[in-house]
Amino acid sequence: MPTSEDRPEERPEMEAPPLSDAASKAAAAARIQDQAKWVDLQVQQSIQRGEFDNLPGAGKPIKNLDRDHDPDWWVKQLVEREQIVVLPRSVQLRKDDAELDGLLDTQTTEDGARRIVEEFNERVIAARYGAPEGPPLITMPRDLDATLDAWRERRAARVEAAKNVRREQPPRRRRWWRR
């Protein structure tokens, strides 16, 4: 006959007697003390195995330990480590305006170029109607048709230059096995 351990549904439910508040606090303190002993034991064993040897920064002072507490310390370290440049919106739009033609030249379709110019114009208009921040905004929205006409001309010139390069190359000889 199976025992109650084999079939948990037949096992009688045993409720633990409720602990008093003092006993509950004492049990929690004992668990914390045991946990602290366990952690100390794990650290000591890791030291003996040499897992803490040759760590990066070993023997060097901890950076920024002498500074006052800054609640945004992690953001500043992220910006420094990842070399993130945060510019005011007006300066970023000037930079994007200067790089827009180069970005458009990477596009192969007119729809892609049109989408980029429209997105740029939306950001400029949003900055114009938003609260001013940083230096004054002098960037104007681009004329969509004029910008796309200039993109078409540059693209046609690139295509023509590529054709000329192909014409200047000597014809390839056919290999004997491809005759």
Query: Would 101 be classed as within a structural domain?
Result: yes
Full residue range of the structural domain in which residue 146 is found: 89-162
Query: Would 155 be classed as within a structural domain?
Result: yes
Q: What six digits make up the tokens of 80?
A: 């420094």
- Mind listing the pLDDT tens digit for each residue in 140-162? 999 999 999 999 999 999 988 88
Query: Would 15 be classed as within a structural domain?
Result: no
Indicate the range of 11-25, 28-42, 69-83, 93-107 predicted with least confidence.
Answer: 11-25
User: For the chain, what is the mean pLDDT?
Assistant: 84
Which comes out higher in pLDDT, residue 117 or 172? 117
Stretch 2-28: mean pLDDT: 66
**Domain count across the chain:** 1
> What is the DSSP track for 58-121?
TTSPPTTTTSPP-TTHHHHHHHHHHT-----HHHHHHHHHHHHHHHHHT--SHHHHHHHHHHHH
Query: What residues have CB less than 8 Å from 179, skipping those under 6 apart?
Result: none
Query: Would 120 be classed as within a structural domain?
Result: yes
Q: What is the pLDDT of residue 107?
A: 92
Whether pLDDT at 174 is above 90: no
Stretch 105-129: mean pLDDT: 94
- Mind listing the pLDDT tens digit for each residue in 56-105? 888 888 877 777 888 888 888 888 888 888 889 999 999 999 999 999 99
Query: Would 136 be classed as within a structural domain?
Result: yes
Query: What is the torsional sign of CA 153, 159, 163, 166?
Result: positive
Query: Would 118 be classed as within a structural domain?
Result: yes
Q: What six digits make up the tokens of 102?
A: 């180069």
CA dist list (Å): 75 to 39, 45, 81 = 31, 35, 10
Q: What is the pLDDT of residue 49?
A: 93
Q: What six digits make up the tokens of 129?
A: 């109607």
Query: Would 51 be classed as within a structural domain?
Result: no
Q: What is the pLDDT of residue 80?
A: 86
Query: Would 122 be classed as within a structural domain?
Result: yes
Whether pLDDT at 179 is above 90: no
